[in-house]
Amino acid sequence: MSERAESAEPGASAEPAASAEPAGSAGPVGRLIAGRYRLAGLIGVGAMGAVWLAHDELLDVDVAVKEIRPPFVFSELFGPGGAPGDGAGGEPSDGYAEDGWEASTEAWAARALREARNAARLRANPHVVTVHDAVVDGGAPWIVMEAVAARSLQEAVEDDGPRPLPEVAHVGLAVLDALVAAQALGVVHRDVKPSNILLAHDGRILLTDFGIAASAADPTLTQSPEDSGLPSGTPAYMAPERLRGGPTTLVADLFALGATLFFAAEGVAPFHRDSVLASLHAVLFTEPEPTRDLGPLAPVIAGLLTKDPAARLRADGAAALLTRALRLLAADSPGGLASAPALPPPSSTASPPSGGGPPPGAPPPRAPAARPR
């Protein structure tokens, strides 16, 4: 499978599909959005939005624009179950698309624009897809983002198998940096998973979709908004406390990061099962069983996947263990330290704020020891 040109929505092809416009979509090729962004082709469709490659006619640069629509609208456009590709991999499509909650177009526009502003506040972070603009056109909100040539971590594993352990460590550090920076601004991702992490052709590692929309062609279910009373996220990557109705915090995102790193290293999600209910049961009651030697990554993955949020490895402890793992892996490789790929320096090194780390001066919780194999 070839690499893809990505924006903030995974599953894009290298070239926009010539006839991939969804029936009834408000965005035909050639349409000018907000008097500025000319649609060039459809990149991908998710449960609550479609992503288009576009040209910014004011600045003469290519961008990606995401058209946000309420799920019930996409259910009408694409039929029961939502957008094409939903529910692949043995988990059903978003059953809430038709009757799980009620939302007006105006309410969804306000929510999308609010979340776009949150993402835009993170534009200084090197590990977050940059949001440039948010507009309303044709009665729908549109989020304008940088167009990134990349493929998702999900696609990289599906195409090439489990990732090398040094790459997994780099992914962990990059996503961790983005999550801590977001938490500092009061933003919690809520849906950290492999398909929301982009491996850019220029070497960057980017976290996407800060609650703006669900992903297309993803083998897991993305549920309804948090304000519906149902947890928002992907069951196989959701922390146990969220499934039990607990608050969404950085600590919960860290559990999802642990599951994501396990997937990257193993090639299979630790809690993915043949149904949503089975995945939820696995998250709550089973421990993942690695099938390969995770080496120095074992303590950090085990620590992040601790089911008790009070005992879970915090962000600063995870960063320290990942940095140590990189050094050990590089020292053991034939090329030594020079063999480890470069990674932009973290944008923030301070301890996470309340809810994301231990009190100032307190040592990070000890990571559970890896099970002997």
Same domain, 110 and 190: no
Q: For residue 312, which phi and psi values (nearest 5 degrees)?
A: -70, 145
Based on the fold, state whether residues 77 and 113 are members of the same structural domain.
yes
Range of the domain at 238: 150-339
Confidence of residue 370 (pLDDT cuts 50, 70, 90): very low
Q: Which residues are catalytic?
A: 191
Is 161 found in the same domain as 284? yes
Q: Do residues 137 and 196 both lie within one domain?
A: no
How confident is the model over 66-121, as pLDDT tens digits? 888 765 443 343 343 333 333 333 333 333 333 333 455 676 677 677 768 777 88
- The span from the CA of 367 to the CA of 140, in Å, is 46
CA atoms within 13 A of residue 237's CA, in its CB half-sphere: 30
369 found inside a domain:
no
Whether 40 and 16 have beta carbons less than 8 Å apart is answered as yes
Domain endpoint, select from 148, 167, 201: 148
Are the CB atoms for 109 and 212 separated by under 8 Å?
Answer: no
User: Same domain, yes or no, for 107 and 254?
Assistant: no
- Say if residue 193 carries a ligand binding annotation: no
Q: In this structure, what token pair is assigned to residue 357?
A: 């780390």
118: helix, strand or coil? helix
Q: What are phi and psi of 106, to 5 degrees?
A: -65, -40
CATH number assigned to the domain comprising residue 158: 1.10.510.10
The closest of 195, 203, 174, 172 to 296, measured between CA atoms, is 172
Say if residue 192 is in the same domain as residue 142.
Answer: no
Tokens of 234: 């992907």
Same domain, 79 and 159: no
For residue 47, tell me if it sits in a domain.
Answer: yes
Verify that 53 and 133 share a domain, yes or no. yes
Indicate whether 345 belongs to any domain.
no
pLDDT per residue as tens digits for the range 24-62? 445 589 999 999 999 999 987 765 678 899 999 999 999
pLDDT score, position 27 = 53
Q: Are residues 215 and 289 in the same domain?
A: yes
Token pair of 209 as six digits:
């979709």
Residues 6+ apart with CB under 8 A from 307: 240, 284
Q: How many domains does the chain have?
A: 2
What percent of the chain shows pLDDT beyond 70? 64
The residue with tokens 């992914």 is 171
Which helix (H) or strand (E) segment is 32 a member of? strand 32-33
Query: Partners of 45 in the beta sheet?
Result: 50
Bridge partners (DSSP) of residue 32 are 38
pLDDT of residue 105: 64
| Paired tokens of 180 | 């801590």
The C-alpha atoms of residue 83 and residue 47 are separated, in whole angstroms, by 5
Residue 365 domain-assigned (yes or no):
no
Residues in the chain, overall count: 373
| Amino acid code (one letter) for 332 | D
Residue 322, judged by CB atoms within 10 A of its CB (0-12, 13-18, 19+), counts as buried
